[in-house]
Structure 1
Amino acid sequence: MDELIDDFLTYLRYERNYSDYTVDAYSKDLSQFEEYVKDRLEGVFSPGLIDSDIVRSWIVYLLDEKISPVSVNRKLSSLKSFFKFLMKQRIVSVNPLRLVTGPKTKKPLPYFVKEGEMDILLDGDGFDEDFEGIRNRLMLELFYDTGIRRSELIGIKNSDVDFDAMQLKVTGKRNKQRLIPFAEGLKNLMLAYTEVRNREVGIQCEWFFVRKNGTQLSTGIVYNIVKKMLSEIPTLAKCSPHVLRHSFATSMLNNGAELNAVKELLGHSSLASTSVYTHTTFEELKKVYHAHPRAKKEGGNYGN
């Protein structure tokens, strides 16, 4: 890999505190671009020789290879960040991506679980009464009640849970920490879980959520548990921990929460990321209006 790309990845990891997963994604995108440029420029990869025509031809190449517009735009985002870094270092004087636009994508609305369906799932008898059953129900409830990410859940330590103040400290993207309040119901579930965990697992561990042997949960285990439980909802097209994050945000906004408050709870760096949920709630609002008896009459225009 080119030395400049290596320097950029080091900058992302140690100065911007990007996760290993994100740095790896940047690395793959830039390696692919480097390989493409070398094919075009007879084995040479020199950022100063790269112009907008090369970038545009790469976009065409990727689309011809059946890479989705969403993935192409992500790769372009990696490339833009790389050239911004090079300009900052004064290695190049012109950013070849300044006039390049990516392929248009139609952003799908986030999948989410309706409140009634979530109540039936959480209050039903689909969970065993043993350690794993109590733990799995708590995980589902915690995802839905707080909107935290999967990586944030498995990263919770015992010291991050303040039962007196009823708040939870989580570490999000780029190691940013935030405090999330929780209600009495969730507090009782968490206390019940810790009692069973301490009694049955019996191994002192710094992590709040653990396996039977006392070790920290993996992202794969958490994903599979949530997927299995959400698959009980027949109307849900996608089953993952992130769907519960979407469900939390949608439920909060549907029940009158301010967009800025939801942004802070989710740990978003900008309102743009949170505003996608306003479209979801608006779609729900339209359905409510269309269900109104007046809307069903000829000439009714509720929600249009």
Structure 2
Amino acid sequence: MVDSFLRYISYEKRYSQHTVKSYQNDLKQFEFFCQSKFKVQNITEANQLMIRAWVLSLMDGGTSPRSVNRKIASLKSFYKYLLKRDTISQDPTVKIKSLKVKKELPGFANEEEFSDFLNRLVFDDSLEGQMEQLLLELLYGTGIRLSELLGLRVSDFNPGQSTIKVLGKRNKERIIPISRSLNSLLKNYITEKNHAFSHDSDSFLIVNKNGGQAYPMLVYRIVKKYLSQVQSLDKKSPHALRHTFATHLLNKGADLNAVKDLLGHSSLAATQVYTHNSLDKLKSVFDQAHPKA
């Protein structure tokens, strides 16, 4: 039934390969626990006590509450699937509650410092140097996720409209406007890339030295190399640039719904986490300007 469930979330629910792999790993881990601890060979026979015991073992083993909650969510989805198909008569996860997680506010770069940082940057004239510049400009200029960046193809760029087409979570497409400078940078980079490698418009935009699709660690390495100069950023990661993009937009008065659409969030709740930064700025303005402050 696990294989059937994985096919369901992959082809019908259209979850990403990364998400499907996470579900698979969680279910395998729980299956191994049930087999070794309770001698239950099939997790369709697992009950609430077994699930609680697994959660406790994860906590005792040092697994973070956030990771435990993700694993609980995997089980809930799996047993909900079994219940819908009448494979089980009762859902053993009904009374299993998620752990309380301390809310972490997303880190972002100070606007003034980051602007100075961008103005100081000097890149090599080689294709590799242009790619590194484009990579940073795309992440900060559009707020796209790492997986979305790696999935971009040359054909996703529309120079006439100054937009890029992004394939986000659950294969949802969205169109993101880009600045004139980023448009020009993309055109120049693609021209150089075509000279060095394939002219195929379906080829990946961000590539490695051999012209193949770039991989996550390559992007992490490049981002970390440059962001090491930004003191206001604790985490030097691609996602930090996404946080910075959203925060800077909101601090400049951007509409929350517009930022939601740009980020590819399915609900406003995910976008509202960035508003704390804007509120801090508003409080600062209030304290400086209001007679009653």
**CA–CA distance in structure 2, aligned partners of residues 61 and 280 of structure 1:** 37
**CA–CA distance in structure 2, aligned partners of residues 162 and 148 of structure 1:** 16
Q: Is 1:32 aligned with 2:29? A: yes
Unaligned runs of 5+ in 1: none
The size of the alignment, in residue pairs, is 291
SS in 1 for 2:166: strand
1:86-112: CA deviation from partner (whole Å, max 9, x where unpaired): 111111232222222122110210111
Task: Report the more deviating stretch, 5-14 or 68-77.
Answer: 5-14
Q: Is the 8 A contact 1:110 1:280 kept in 2?
A: no
Match of 2:187 among 183, 188, 191: 191
Question: For residues 89-168 of structure 1, what are the structure 2 equivalents within 5 Å?
Answer: 89-168=85-164
Pair 170,35 (structure 1): closer, same or farther in 2 beyond 3 Å: same
Pair 294,264 (structure 1): closer, same or farther in 2 beyond 3 Å: closer
Question: For residues 1-304 of structure 1, what are the structure 2 equivalents within 5 Å?
Answer: 4-51=1-48, 53-199=49-195, 201-205=196-200, 206-286=203-283, 292=288
Q: Is the 8 A contact 1:111 1:243 kept in 2?
A: yes
Q: Is the 8 A contact 1:110 1:246 kept in 2?
A: yes
**CA–CA distance in structure 2, aligned partners of residues 256 and 19 of structure 1:** 33
SS in 1 for 2:175: strand
SS in 2 for 1:229: helix
Task: Report the more deviating stretch, 10-19 or 144-153.
Answer: 10-19
Offset of residue 189 of structure 1: 1.6
**CA–CA distance in structure 1, aligned partners of residues 284 and 147 of structure 2:** 34
Unaligned runs of 5+ in 2: none
SS in 1 for 2:210: coil
Offset of residue 121 of structure 1: 2.2
Offset of residue 196 of structure 1: 2.9
Q: Is the 8 A contact 2:31 2:43 kept in 1?
A: no
**CA–CA distance in structure 1, aligned partners of residues 283 and 95 of structure 2:** 38
Structure 1 vs Structure 2 CA RMSD: 2.1
One-letter amino acid of the structure 2 residue matched with residue 177 of structure 1: E
Alignment TM-score, normalising by the size of structure 1: 0.88
**CA–CA distance in structure 2, aligned partners of residues 43 and 86 of structure 1:** 17
Offset of residue 15 of structure 1: 1.5
Q: Is the 8 A contact 1:152 1:170 kept in 2?
A: yes
Pair 26,146 (structure 1): closer, same or farther in 2 beyond 3 Å: same
**CA–CA distance in structure 2, aligned partners of residues 55 and 169 of structure 1:** 42
SS in 2 for 1:134: helix
**CA–CA distance in structure 1, aligned partners of residues 34 and 7 of structure 2:** 22
One-letter amino acid of the structure 2 residue matched with residue 264 of structure 1: D
Pair 262,125 (structure 1): closer, same or farther in 2 beyond 3 Å: closer
Pair 46,213 (structure 1): closer, same or farther in 2 beyond 3 Å: closer
Identity of aligned residues (%): 44
1:130-187: CA deviation from partner (whole Å, max 9, x where unpaired): 2222221121111111111112112211211111111111111122111111121211
